[in-house]
Amino acid sequence: MVYFTKQRQSTVDANLRRRLSLCGLLLAAGLLAGAPAQAETTTTEAVKPPPMPKSSVLLQSTTHSNGVPIVYPTGMPQVTVRVTEIPSGADTGVHNHPIPLVTYILTGELSIRSVSGTVHVYKKGDAFVETTEFHRGVNEGKDPVRLLAFYIGEVGAPLSNKPPQ
């Protein structure tokens, strides 16, 4: 019986040693897997963080360019975004916008001439909420004007109106 107990004890010890060895191997493998890879660069180089998105406010306004408060339409909302190109010397004709219109100048210079006589010149990179007054846009420069227009309207509303005759 003593022999059986010693044999059983040595079997338990052997199993325990195998389990501990396996745990040690797994632990070592886990540590190696998590270890940083050998870099070919020097350790003095700083690790650059990934680039982060940037945002710049181009325009924030509660009024149109002539000071009239912006009023949103009351019907079914509809947003229209379009790019307009105005060749050198071209004129848009007199019109107004019954809905809020945000404009961003992509290229060139645009003169907005209101019927009351005020003139605003907008150049590349400028953003503005167009006036509610009747006005015309004129490209008085040599280069074409390209603008990005955001009409914040409603279904069925015109983007612009011509003056009554």
Q: Are residues 93 and 29 in the same domain?
A: no
Tokens of 159: 């983007």
Q: pLDDT of 25-63, one tens digit each?
A: 444 445 445 545 555 555 567 899 999 889 899 999 999
**58 in a structural domain:** no
Q: Are residues 25 and 89 in the same domain?
A: no
Q: pLDDT of 108-160, one tens digit each?
A: 999 999 999 999 999 999 999 999 999 999 999 999 999 999 999 999 999 99
In the prediction, which pLDDT does 26 show? 46
Q: Are residues 145 and 82 in the same domain?
A: yes
**67 in a structural domain:** no
Number of domains the chain is built from: 2
In the prediction, which pLDDT does 7 show? 52
**86 in a structural domain:** yes
Domain holding 24, by residue range, is: 1-33
Q: pLDDT of 65-96, one tens digit each?
A: 999 999 988 899 999 999 999 999 999 999 99
Q: Are residues 29 and 82 in the same domain?
A: no
**163 in a structural domain:** no
| pLDDT above 60 (res 103) | yes
More confident of the two residues 154 and 7: 154
In the prediction, which pLDDT does 36 show? 53
- Phi first, then psi: give them for residue 73, nearest 5 degrees: -60, 160
CA distances, 80 to each of 33, 70, 92 (Å): 54, 17, 19
